Amino acid sequence: MKKAFVTGALLVVLTLSLGGSAASKVTDNAATYEQLRLFTEVLSIVQNQYVDEVPPKDLIYNAIKGTLRGLDPHSSFLDPDSYRDMQVETSGSFGGLGIEITLKDDILTVVAPIDGTPAYRAGLHTGDRIIKIDGLSTKDMQLADAVKRMRGKPGTKVTISVVREGWAEPKDFDIVREQIRVQSVKAVELGDGIEYLKLRQFQEQSPHDLDAALDKFAKNGMKALILDLRNNPGGLLTAAVEVSEKFIEDGKLVVYTEGRVRNQNMRFSAHAKKGYAQMPMVILINQGSASASEIVAGALQDWGRATIVGTQSFGKGSVQTIIPLSDGSGLRLTTAKYFTPKGRSIHGKGITPDVVVELPKEKETAPKERPLPSADPLDDLKKDVQVQRALEVIKAMKTAHQLGTQQATTRN
């Protein structure tokens, strides 16, 4: 299966596929060249008359960044260093804080801290707005630049200033960078054949890790599953499809994408060799569930395959393609939007749970570290009101499933 993030051939496809009729192309090209003449005029003036001498490469890079910033919060220019950093994001190991961020209303915003990472332990929350990084204002800062500033050598410290709903003023978080090694799957047996799986990110190895956990559960007599996608900020589209197809019947649509370029109009269907398409199942989501998490939740909700419990998801329903450029830099460009099997666009809306369960509001006046998890993971899950509600739903589903099986046996 092709990686959804990287495609070297896209440059050629863009050249061949953009535009409409030949006449309209001629008109559009003429207008474009006229505007490019204006751009080169400004560039020449800046090079010759600006008070300080600026390297031409810097001028061009800044111009490209400005162009992409005007498109949407998720499109950005990646200089060669940022492009190399991006390539390790999906491998499950990288240096930094362990936080997924986005631009929301032009403000740097936390999508989700990744469980067990420095950002998570420091107490960062979904929805926190980052207004400074090491004293530097994030206003007008590109997403890629913000990521680059928060990453660094393990053991070094970064200070981020955060605004949070309910706080009267911003507060600083001093966080020590670590080598982030994300274990994508956490598995816990809840008893009575009910199993709990937390999927932290959609990385290259996530489907394999999920397979291993499910195989172990199946050998122990798994009868029902809770899949926890809370604070899962997404990742690879292909991984989301591979996870989804484990729980729906072969041939069923998982997600489709639509864009301006023909090769961005794609359909992804289930092609699982083995799966768990009948087992009672609940998916947990919250505001930190984004992108690939929403694909999985949306697909299983549309097919009536799982009950969704929790709170409204983040609402990131666009596909970014990484396009390599000739000097080692790259573009992260929004090239399509994705839709659930029933044609729902989640972009800007999110997934609405079938059963809404809000967490109790935290009374917090200053930053504080999250408590360390209990030695027994069951202790933490017993205190989690959303997990406990999911258990109630699962038990009701198991009862209904058993009744249906008994009635079918009686009829036979």
Q: Which amino acids are annotated catalytic? A: 291, 302, 316
How many Å from the N-terminal Cα to the C-terminal Cα in the chain?
Answer: 42
Residue length, the chain? 412
Q: Which helix (H) or strand (E) holds 36?
A: helix 22-49
Q: Is residue 137 within 8 Å of 108, Cβ to Cβ? A: no
Query: Measuring CA to CA, how many Å separate 11 from each of 15, 80, 206?
Result: 6, 18, 29
Residue type for position 87 = Q
CA-atom Rg of the chain in angstroms: 24
DSSP 232: -
DSSP state of 154: T
Distances (CA, A) of 236 to 155, 158, 241, 253, 388: 29, 28, 9, 17, 30
How far is 308 from 288, CA to CA, in rounded Å? 15
Residue type, 363: K
Distance (Å) of CA 280 to CA 140, 195, 309: 47, 11, 14
Q: Which residues pair with 227 in a beta bridge?
A: 197, 283
Helix boundaries (H) for 234-327: 237-244, 292-302
